Structure 1
């Protein structure tokens, strides 16, 4: 989710090397006697451990056939959507791109990405093979506009060595958690603090605090918007309770508010617990110096529901027909053949067969991941979500970083969200 690779200008786009074809069928266009060489530019924000898995999928696809060559351009995650939006509006950029499911709507409304149903049929791709919860997010006006790759969300990662020192690791190497309440969880962290000095009991994702907030707010039964999605619904006792809980963790030294790289703190053995993404599983479990366990986030605010999203692949509307066919073939391959590799990174594959395969389910903790996927709450399906998300992210950061009273901060945030929804 967090790209650490260098940014390259978006105008560096791979050009089509296709010579044309006479027949409209996919097979004839992709399997002519003298096949055309099609080079696809694939934009994505995958860095860190995720990027390694994407490189494997691209390499395997490129070596599996000789008709299409995929070249990726990896962008910084905090710049990705600004660069992609500019490229799509100018009609010059990637041939295939990653878009989170909650960011699809404005691109579809602006007619900047193409529908995929006809292309999927020509490429032999069946959208019915996609998990229904994933597919619902990419259907607009009865048409599929993206290929969902996964569901991704958060789990509770724990350092077995630290918990063992604190006397909080059971024989089956799971945590000896207190009651699943805010007070019970806080008591657990206090024991780590008292018994293992020099480490954070729990690293909290303050750089992306909106996700940390949403995990527990959704547990509490909270909603971002009213059922008709015309009003904000975030100024309430549930949200106040969650923000108060986090502020108390920071105030009591159970989490470090000033830790700007909490994922690294956990990876370096400096934190007992970490609520991190499933996409980090491959990285953390692959660290020989770190003895990690993974479990669902405890339902400390009453339910197992938590934040989640989905990566999807799209084809921009300006892409020519031969490249569309090639792009659809690559997307099919990523979903069907590359799904297990993507699952190794930690994501739960959206493809039914991949998620049910022994190759995926025999990976560590993956059955727990599949069970947790069923409790994911996706973002509201609105073309204003990007603006709403920016406001939520900025205001929640201010509340925790500046010590603003939750009641006051949430009232201001709700007003801002309602202004966005009204325009």
Structure 2
């Protein structure tokens, strides 16, 4: 009887050993994994959500490991180009859609054609407006993962008290230039004196983004010709949009001048509304006692156009990359786009429309109230000079909003500066 018991124990130990060996044989060791370096520029809350996606990928793809490398935002593109030129290219990298043309011109971006289709990437599942902005000269160079436009945020408590909130919790605004002013004026009349109707910067990138939106709402089509070789600034629309904005500060006085931190002003309950990027949604969600809402920027000039950019993933050029590694890079980039419900927690609108159908996305508050903005983002035309053009327009708009120059003079100056840029830049199309 005792011998039988010992035999049974030995048999069980043998079975456990064999089972353990079998499991080890089926799983890949760390040295067997395909390793990918992924360079990003994300910071703050964005970084945490992207790290979550990377962790999820690593947990569900035993044969691939993604190494998340976060570079400082301010010098990200410089380090990216330098690294690729030095033969130290990452396997996957982030680029704003507005910066893609310059990276392509510098020769550091690998075309995704025709490999994308071979890897099962279905372009028709992406938002068409975002996808179109990522296609350069008819070729796919990047996989869009989002768009991050500006949106209109409001304090529900203040709008409710002013009688400017409807039964669905949305602002009561007549979408005309006069209607928007009337809305803000009524808020100003009903609010305590220390509460701003509209919190906004007086100069800088944020007014430029709003100006760009109004300029396109007026029916403008960017500031360059379709072939990108010359300036096509629609002067009357540029001036009208700038003067309308200037009046909000000086004539109607619904935006206090020179707010030090317009984010903080709204967040602390010292303002009823503001316009900023959807990336701030997560900030407001984490703010105690802030009952806020968000809708698209009112289309006061007719067209539902709004400023926005997009994060994309691209595969840097690498002469020595092997096919298996490139295939793994495609797998990872596709996974990031497909898991946009996690990325949407940062406030961004996922680029892949199939994400909108996921329960996890639909359960997120606020996002469904502005997801339609993706269809109306007025992207810059794909010029290598986009970054400098944006700087020129911002600087000249500043002179209008600080009262030092008329809108007509400011945009004549901007027009001339862009013309000279296109003539002198080494990174613009040949004549």
Q: Would you call these one fold, judging by a TM-score over 0.5?
A: yes
- How far apart in 2 are the matches of 1:195 and 1:216? 27
- C-alpha distance in 1 between matches for 2:383 and 2:182: 39
CA distance in structure 1 between the partners assigned to 2:377 and 2:68 by the alignment: 30
1:244 corresponds to which residue?
243
Residue 212 (structure 1) aligns with: 210
Larger Rg: 2
Determine the structure 1 residue equivalent to 2:67: 71
Aligned-pair CA distance for 1:88: 3.2
Matches within 5 A, 1:235-384: 236-251=235-250, 252-318=252-318, 320-321=321-322, 322-336=324-338, 338-384=339-385
Query: How far has the Cα of 1:123 moved from its partner?
Result: 4.3
Write out per-residue CA displacement over residues 103-128 of structure 1, whole angstroms, 9 at most, x where no aligned residue.
11122223211122354356443334
Contact 2:81 2:108 (C-alpha < 8 Å) held by counterparts: no
**By how many angstroms is 1:217 displaced?**
1.1
Aligned to 2:104: 108
**Deviations for 1:47-95, whole angstroms, at most 9, x for unmatched residues?**
2332232122122222223333333333443433333333333333533
Alignment of 1:41-120 (within 5 A): 41-120=37-116
Contact 1:41 1:94 in 2 (8 A): yes
CA contact (8 A) 1:207 1:260 kept: no
Q: Please list every run of 5 or more consecutive structure 2 residues that lacks an aligned counterpart in the other structure.
A: 1-26, 425-431
Does 1:202 find its partner at 2:220? no
Relative to the length of structure 2, the TM-score reads 0.82
Is the CA contact 1:36–1:67 (under 8 Å) kept in the aligned structure 2?
yes
Three-state SS of the structure 1 residue aligned to 2:194 is coil
Per-residue CA deviation, residues 136-170 of structure 1 (Å, 9 max, x unaligned), is 23334543211111222122111112223333223
Q: Is 1:40–2:32 an aligned residue pair?
A: no
* Contact 2:249–2:256 under 8 Å retained in 1: yes
Counterpart for residue 13 of structure 2: none
Structure-to-structure mapping, 1:21-36, within 5 angstroms: 36=32
- Distance across 2 between alignment mates of 1:331 and 1:406: 44
Secondary structure in 2 matching 1:192: helix
Q: RMSD value over aligned CA atoms?
A: 2.6
Q: Counterpart of 1:71 in 2: which secondary structure?
A: strand
Determine the C-alpha separation between the residues in 1 that align with 2:236 and 2:151. 25
For 1:18, the equivalent position in structure 2 comes to none
Residues 129 and 374, structure 2, Cα contact 8 Å, conserved in 1: no
Q: 1:334, 1:149 → 2: CA distance? A: 7
Corresponding residue number in structure 1 for 2:232: 233
Secondary structure in 1 matching 2:107:
coil
- Label 1:71 to 1:176 Cα distance change in 2 as closer, same or farther (>3 A): same
Distance 1:139 1:249, change over 3 A: closer
Is the 2:91–2:315 Cα contact (8 Å) retained in structure 1?
yes
Counting matched residue pairs gives 391
Change (3 A) 1:88 1:34: closer
1:415 is displaced (CA, Å) by 0.5
- In structure 1, distance between residues paired with 2:127 and 2:148: 13
Change (3 A) 1:41 1:198: farther
Q: Relative to structure 2, which stretch is displaced further, 65-74 or 209-218?
A: 65-74
Q: Which residue of 2 aligns with 1:390?
A: 391
Report if the CA contact (8 A) 1:235-1:410 is conserved: no
Partner SS for 2:269 = coil
SS at match of 1:202: coil
How far residue 260 of structure 1 moved from its aligned partner, in angstroms, is 4.3
8 Å Cα contact 1:257-1:401 kept in structure 2: no
Higher mean alpha-carbon deviation, 31-40 vs 380-389, is at 31-40
Q: Deviation at 1:38? A: 4.0
Counterparts in 2 of 1:187 and 1:144: CA distance versus 1, 3 Å: same
1:89 and 1:255, CA in 2 relative to 1: closer, same or farther beyond 3 A? Answer: farther
Partner deviation per Cα, 1:318-340 (whole Å, 9 max, x = no partner):
2722543332222121011x211
From the superposition, tell whether residues 399 and 110 of structure 1 become closer, same or farther in structure 2 (CA, over 3 Å). same
* Inter-partner Cα distance in structure 2 for 1:132 and 1:62: 29
- Could you say if the C-alpha distance between residues 293 and 281 of structure 1 is closer, same or farther in structure 2, counting changes exceeding 3 Å? same
Shift in CA distance, 77/33, structure 1 to aligned 2, threshold 3 Å: closer
Contact 1:282 1:344 survives alignment (8 Å): yes
Contact kept? 2:129, 2:377, Cα under 8 Å? no
